[in-house]
Amino acid sequence: MKVLITRPLFEEAIELVSAHAEIEIWEDENPITRDLLRLKASECDGILTTVMDKVDAGIISECKNLKVISQLGVGVDNIDVGEATNLGVMVGNTPGVVARPTADIAFGLLLNCARRISESYNWVKNKQWEIAFHPMSWLGTDVGGATLGIIGMGTIGREMLKRAQGFDMEVLYHSRTPKPDIDDLPGVTYCENMYELLSNSDYVSVHVPLTPETYYLISYDELKAMKKDSVLINTARGPIVNPSALYDALNEGWIRSAGIDVTDPEPIEPDSPLLTLDNLIISPHIGSASIDARRKMCMIAAGNLILGSNGERLEYCANPEVYQKLGL
């Protein structure tokens, strides 16, 4: 069988795949183009993709031999999962592994925004530190004892909850359904109405998948509903937060600051007005970028690629309903 991998991976993952299949790796620094992806995938039993690869219905329908699309990551919004299911193509992903490191980044951004670490570092780096101490300089906001609002209580949201508990924070959360296993925890409250969470949280952290329902979930009305001294954190997907609304909110002082690990589009455009703001921290989509997590992700994605190319059930499948169509 033949497979395509659209990015270099850890060596052990490449070795695992090479032992079972003829393998082609896209080595270029830039993502593979749509036309090349379509051309190369048309000859393959399986492809291993990243969030940078748009695998649309046109590509999937033209790849007659394709059995599996193995995504390196949890989110699969870059893949037309519905079309893949209709055509009997399994879609794999790597859940669970990314929860802890992504929550680490989210909470790191929260702390950074709260205490203005990056902002003050840039001030020092620009040789503006002339007075050793001033009691009214670089005032931030407390984290310990504050209220954190978590939008989306999946695996990453739950890891965020654990970190908040370590700082004695009150936690409000909003999700499609309440979570009985955490509702009895001290200091945790379910908010059926997201606006109740937004208006009562000192920090708001977004942890929902990108779907048609969550596109621009946080926009003008939502940002205006937040406290003026509050902080927004987004480590989910860029289009969940309207960038124009975020710029206005930060520029006009609707909220205090924001920390985002994802942008819309990615990479962020060099002339984006967001880059002119001092009260915004942007990291380049590094939520899962710990050595251990990325190694595990590569191994899971490699395993899914092999299993799917062999016509077997995946370790993690984003469209398990396809199994019935395939008789698996």
Known catalytic residues are: 237, 266, 285
Burial of residue 15 (number of CB atoms within 10 Å: 0-12, 13-18, 19+): exposed
Q: Measured in whole angstroms, how far is the alpha carbon of residue 288 from the centre of its chain?
A: 8
Instruction: Report in angstroms the alpha-carbon separations of 147 from 161, 210, 247.
Output: 11, 25, 24
Structure tokens at 326: 């395939």
Contacts 24+ apart (CB under 8 A), 52-56: 52/6, 52/7, 52/78, 52/266, 53/6, 53/78, 54/78, 55/79, 55/80, 55/84, 56/80, 56/83
Contact 45, 287 (CB under 8 A): no
Q: Measured in whole angstroms, how far is the alpha carbon of residue 46 from the centre of its chain?
A: 24
Query: 12: part of which helix (H) or strand (E)?
Result: helix 11-18
Sign of CA dihedral 247, 249, 251, 255: negative
3-state SS assignment for residue 251: helix
How many Cα atoms sit within 13 Å of 38 on the Cβ side?
A: 11
